[in-house]
Amino acid sequence: MVFRYLLSVLGTGCPKVDTVLDDPHRRPGELLQGRLELVGGELDWEVAEVAHVLVARFGDGEESEFARVPLIGAMTLDAERRMVVPFAYQVPWAAPVTRLGGADLAGVELGLRTDVVIDDALDEGDLDPVHVHPLPLHERLLEGMDRAGFERRGASAARGGLPGARGRARFHQALRYTDGDVDVDLLLSTAEEGVAVAFAVPGKLAEYAAGRAEPRWFLAGHEDADREDWPRRVREWVGYTLDHDGGGAAYVREGGAGG
């Protein structure tokens, strides 16, 4: 437990706050639970608001707010008073995956920030890390990529959604794959009803991000995680994408990742 002084520029007599997560490892759609502890300072303070903000921070330093949840409204925080406020709210379905295969995924981190407004001054806290793990559908799809002969070579994420994305995400995330001959970026857009999947050949992701072109999204429901032949489906989707963006005929004729 690490309390931080609020508005520390005014001295150590200010109130203190700490956010404690029960379990920072979650999947999209699961509940993020914990407690907020607020301790009054040497004097009474007028608190306008305490809120949690779920923030994605990208490798280039850009940030995107996913959700803002008010915890405490306007109140007088008496000197030395101690408050404990439990909370529980859903990790957005569109939240980026930040943990894969037991390791942090490059390009993006997710965190919970505690914002406190006192005397019209906003005190923004540091990010308490939240580690978002893949859903079963994500896992089966990625296993299908591996079994189809693709090897993951990296990942990236940036602020700004892609045209036609299902989950209305304020970011886009790409997993880079190769089979030795074909390079593609795997794009995922997650929502409560399922996942939209797209592939981008080299150079296309920048066009999608700029809105000059739209990915060809393929839809899968969460219930399809254990019903689908994912290696076969991946080969079909990659072949379709390459056929429309160039090189598809060669991919099919030479067997591509799927043989």
Give the tens place of pLDDT for each residue, 94-151.
Answer: 899 999 988 999 889 999 999 998 877 888 888 899 999 999 999 999 999 999 999 9
Residue 192 lies in a domain: yes
| Separation between Cα atoms, residue 245 and residue 255, nearest integer Å | 17
Domain's final residue, options 94, 111, 132: 132
126 and 152 share one domain: no
**Domain hosting residue 17, numbered range:** 4-132
pLDDT at position 2, please? 66
Residue 26 lies in a domain: yes
Q: Averaged over 18-37, what is the pLDDT? A: 96
Q: Averaged over 40-50, what is the pLDDT? A: 89
28 and 109 share one domain: yes
152 and 101 share one domain: no
Q: Averaged over 16-21, what is the pLDDT? A: 92
Is pLDDT of 253 > 50? no
pLDDT at position 161, please? 83
What is the band of 167 on the pLDDT scale with cuts at 50, 70, 90?
A: low
Residue 257 lies in a domain: no
| Separation between Cα atoms, residue 181 and residue 206, nearest integer Å | 21
Count structural domains, the chain: 2
126 and 146 share one domain: no
Is pLDDT of 245 > 60? yes
Q: Residue 112's domain is classified under what CATH number?
A: 2.60.40.640
pLDDT at position 8, please? 59
Q: Averaged over 252-259, what is the pLDDT? A: 42
- Residue that is written with structure tokens 């990915």 in the block: 215
242 and 122 share one domain: no
| Separation between Cα atoms, residue 60 and residue 159, nearest integer Å | 9
Is pLDDT of 221 > 70? yes
pTM exceeds 0.75 = yes
84 and 148 share one domain: no
Give the tens place of pLDDT for each residue, 172-183.
Answer: 899 999 999 899
Mean pLDDT across the chain, nearest whole number?
Answer: 87
pLDDT at position 168, please? 60
119 and 206 share one domain: no
pLDDT at position 246, please? 60
Domain's final residue, options 98, 132, 166: 132
| Higher-scoring residue by pLDDT: 168, 71 | 71
Q: Averaged over 61-89, what is the pLDDT? A: 91
Domain's final residue, options 117, 132, 147: 132
| Separation between Cα atoms, residue 4 and residue 19, nearest integer Å | 10
